[in-house]
Amino acid sequence: MQLPLFPLDTVLFPGCVLDLQLFEARYLDMLGRCLKQGHGFGVVALYAGSEVGEAASDFAEVGCEALIRDWQQRPNGLLGVRVKGGRRLRVTASQVRPDRALMGDVEWLPEPADLPLDDAHDDLLALLGALGEHPMVAALGMDGAVQGQRDLANRLAYLLPFELPRKVELLALDDPRRRLQRLQALLELLQGESFG
């Protein structure tokens, strides 16, 4: 399947909310096409280059579908767009259109069955609760009940300040249990760096 791609300095995860401000013609056109055709676009992590200007060529092959939930003109004149993460995807090929828009051939990644939360996840749930109290996080409206291990892993991986390659690594893991285990290991590394 072909999907417009939006390389960004962030990693979107399924179920998570991202606010964007668009001003470049290619992205405004992309948004218009997506709304007209009733589909989203792919958000992929930008490894090198800039979000504006020339079309990106160095980006993660694993990304996330962005489903358009709301849009409005901002006081600064830019178009504000709120998207929610949909399915995970892998970019198998990409090409730059004449208008510098990036298109990708994508395949949807499988989602194994989710697993329920148990007492072992209490610390991670408490951490998510603490993150949710930050005004910037609260403004995203991601404070609903956590639905299972996948939802917990996605929200924490999205909100915690891991480096971009680590976030892409987490997104690429299919098994929610493995994603939570890797997340826990990265958290321990972060704590070690904070106190080291």
Task: Give the domain CATH number at 91.
Answer: 2.30.130.40
Stronger pLDDT, 35 or 164, i.e. the higher one: 164
Stronger pLDDT, 32 or 19, i.e. the higher one: 19
What is the structure's pLDDT at 193? Answer: 65
Q: Which residues pair with 66 in a beta bridge?
A: 41, 85
Is residue 60 domain-shared with residue 127, that is, in the same domain?
no
Stronger pLDDT, 27 or 181, i.e. the higher one: 181
Domain count across the chain: 2
- 67-123 pLDDT, tens digit each: 999 888 888 777 888 999 999 999 999 998 887 788 999 999 999 889 999 999 999
Q: 82, 108, 134: which is the final residue of a domain? A: 108
Q: Is the pLDDT of residue 40 over 90?
A: yes
Percent of the chain residues topping a pLDDT of 70: 93
Is residue 100 domain-shared with residue 145, that is, in the same domain?
no
Say how far apart CA 114 and CA 188 lie, in whole Å.
Answer: 24
Angle in degrees, CA 135, 140, 143, rounded to 5: 85
User: Across residues 136-153, what is the average pLDDT?
Assistant: 89
Q: Among the listed ranges 84-88, 135-139, 167-171, which one has the minimum average pLDDT value?
A: 135-139
Is residue 84 domain-shared with residue 52, that is, in the same domain?
yes
Q: Write a three-state SS string for the chain.
A: CEEEEEEECCCCCCCCEEEEEECCHHHHHHHHHHHHHCCCEEEEEEEECCCCCCCCCEEEEEEEEEEEEEEEECCCCCEEEEEEEEEEEEEEEEEECCCCCEEEEEEECCCCCCCCCCHHHHHHHHHHHHHHCCHHHHCCCCCCCCCCHHHHHHHHHHHCCCCHHHHHHHHHCCCHHHHHHHHHHHHHHHHHHHHC
- 50-73 pLDDT, tens digit each: 555 555 568 999 999 999 998 888
The answer as to whether 61 is a domain residue is yes
What is the structure's pLDDT at 38? Answer: 87
Q: Is the pLDDT of residue 164 over 70?
A: yes
Percent of the chain residues topping a pLDDT of 90: 58
The answer as to whether 114 is a domain residue is no
Q: 108, 131, 149: which is the final residue of a domain? A: 108
Q: What is the largest CA-CA distance in the chain?
A: 53
What is the structure's pLDDT at 196? Answer: 46
What is the structure's pLDDT at 56? Answer: 59
Say how far apart CA 109 and CA 90 lie, in whole Å.
Answer: 7
Q: Could you give phi then psi for residue 83, rounded to 5 degrees?
A: -120, 155
Q: 78, 108, 138: which is the final residue of a domain? A: 108
Is residue 45 domain-shared with residue 132, that is, in the same domain?
no
Residue at 98: amino acid letter: P
Is residue 97 domain-shared with residue 158, that is, in the same domain?
no
Q: Which domain holds residue 132?
A: 119-195
Is residue 15 domain-shared with residue 96, that is, in the same domain?
yes
What is the structure's pLDDT at 113? Answer: 87
Query: Which residues are CB-neighbours of 93 under 8 A, at least 6 positions away?
Result: 104, 105
Is residue 39 domain-shared with residue 74, that is, in the same domain?
yes
Tokens of 75: 């006081």
Is residue 183 domain-shared with residue 93, that is, in the same domain?
no
Angle in degrees, CA 73, 76, 79, rounded to 5: 30
Is residue 27 domain-shared with residue 103, that is, in the same domain?
yes
What is the structure's pLDDT at 97? Answer: 84
The answer as to whether 113 is a domain residue is no
The answer as to whether 143 is a domain residue is yes
Stronger pLDDT, 131 or 54, i.e. the higher one: 131
